[in-house]
Amino acid sequence: MLDILNIILPVFILIGIGYAARWVNLITDALVDALMRFAITFAVPALLFQGISKLDLSQNFDPALLSSFYIAAAASFCLGLLGARFLFKRDIEDSIVIGFACLFSNSLMLGLPIAERAYGPEALSGNFAIISIHSLFAYSVGITTMEIVRARGKSVLQTLITVLKGMVSNALVVAITCAFAVNLSGLQIPSAVDDSFDLLARSALPIALFAIGGILRRYRPEGDLRTIFFICLMSLVFHPSLAYVLAQSMELSTDSLRSVITTASMAPGVNAYLFANIYGRAKRVAASAVLVGTAMSIVSVSVWLVLLP
C-alpha cells in the first residue's frame, strides 16, 4: 500500500501546493487562470500532439480497448443524466451537465501522470489512444445532447453548425486533429521544431496540476450534496467497474487493461465545470463534484491500482 501511495501522492501533493498557494494569497485567481489557460491552450496540446503524432496507430488503436472505455463512459453519461432527472428532480439542462460530469473523467491531468508513475512512460500508449478521442467524444455527446434539447425550432443544420463550432474552438481537439494528420501522412517534423514541442510538453502536467489546485480553492462544496456524491459514485466506481468488466470480457492485455482503468477511474475533470459554465447550468454542482471527487480519488485510485495486475 505504501508503494501505491508513493505513486499517487506526488500528483495530489502538487495539486495541494497549488491549492495552498491560492489559500494564503501567494497567487491570485488571475494568475491561476493564466496558468490554466497556458496549460490548456499550449502545453497540453503540445503533449497530446507529441504523444499521438508518434503513436503506432495500427498497434495501439485496439477496438476492444476503445470500446471497453467508451461504452462505459456513454453508460455513465446516460445513467448520470437519468439519475439527475428522476432521482434528484433536476431540469433537463441541469441533468445533461450532471451527466457530462459523470462522463468526463480527468484522463489527461490525473490519469496520465498516475499511469506514468505506476507503470512507466513506455506503458502510456493505450492511455494516449483513449485520450486522443476523449475530448472529441465527450464534447460531441454533451454539446449535441444539449443543443438538441435547446433547439426548439432550430433546423438540424443549425444544430450541427453549433456542435461543429464547439469542436473547432477547442484547442485540444485541434491539436489532436493535427497530430492525426501528421501521423497518417508520415510527415517528418524538423528536429528543432520537435524539440521545442517536447520542451513545451514537459511543462504541461506539472503546470496543469498546480493550476487545478488553485482553481479548486475558489469553489466550496455547495449545492445538492446528494447529487455531488452521486456524480462521484458514477465517476469513481461505476465507470471504472463497468470498464473493467468489459475489458475482461474482451480479454484485453494487461497493459491495455491498465490504460483503460487508470483513465476511467479518475475524478471528474475541470472540463466538467467548463461545460457547465458554457451553458450556465449546474455550475456549483459541477465545480463541487470536481473538488470532492478529486479528494475522494486519493482513496479510490489507490484501490484500483491494488486490484490491477
**CATH code for the domain of 193:** 1.20.1530.20
Distance CA 275, CA 278 (A): 5
Length of the chain: 309
**Residue 29: closest CA among 203, 194, 155, 211:** 211
Say how far apart CA 142 and CA 96 lie, in whole Å: 7
CB atoms within 10 A of CB 149: 13
Please report, for the chain, how many H helices and E strands are present, in that order.
18, 0
pLDDT at 135: 78
153 sits in the region (left: phi over 0; alpha: psi -120 to 50; else beta) called: left
Q: Phi and psi (nearest 5°) for 152?
A: 40, 65
pLDDT of residue 153: 61
Tens-level pLDDT at each residue, the chain (309 residues): 555 667 777 878 888 899 999 999 999 999 998 998 888 788 888 887 887 788 777 766 788 999 999 999 999 999 999 999 999 999 999 999 999 999 999 887 788 888 888 888 888 888 988 988 887 788 888 888 887 887 766 666 776 776 677 666 667 778 878 888 888 888 888 888 889 989 998 888 788 888 878 887 877 666 688 999 999 999 999 999 999 999 999 999 999 999 999 999 999 987 787 788 778 888 888 888 888 888 898 889 889 998 998
Cell of 73: 463512459
Unique residue bearing C-alpha cell 501567494: 26
Model pTM? 0.79
The dihedral sign for the CA sequence 20, 25, 208, 166 = positive
Q: What is the pLDDT of residue 148?
A: 80
Give which of 64, 71, 41, 189 is closest to 129, Cα–Cα. Answer: 64
- All cell numbers assigned to 221: 462544496
What is the domain count for the chain?
Answer: 1
What pLDDT is stored for residue 95 in this prediction? 96
Q: What's the pLDDT at 252?
A: 93
Domain that holds residue 144: 2-307
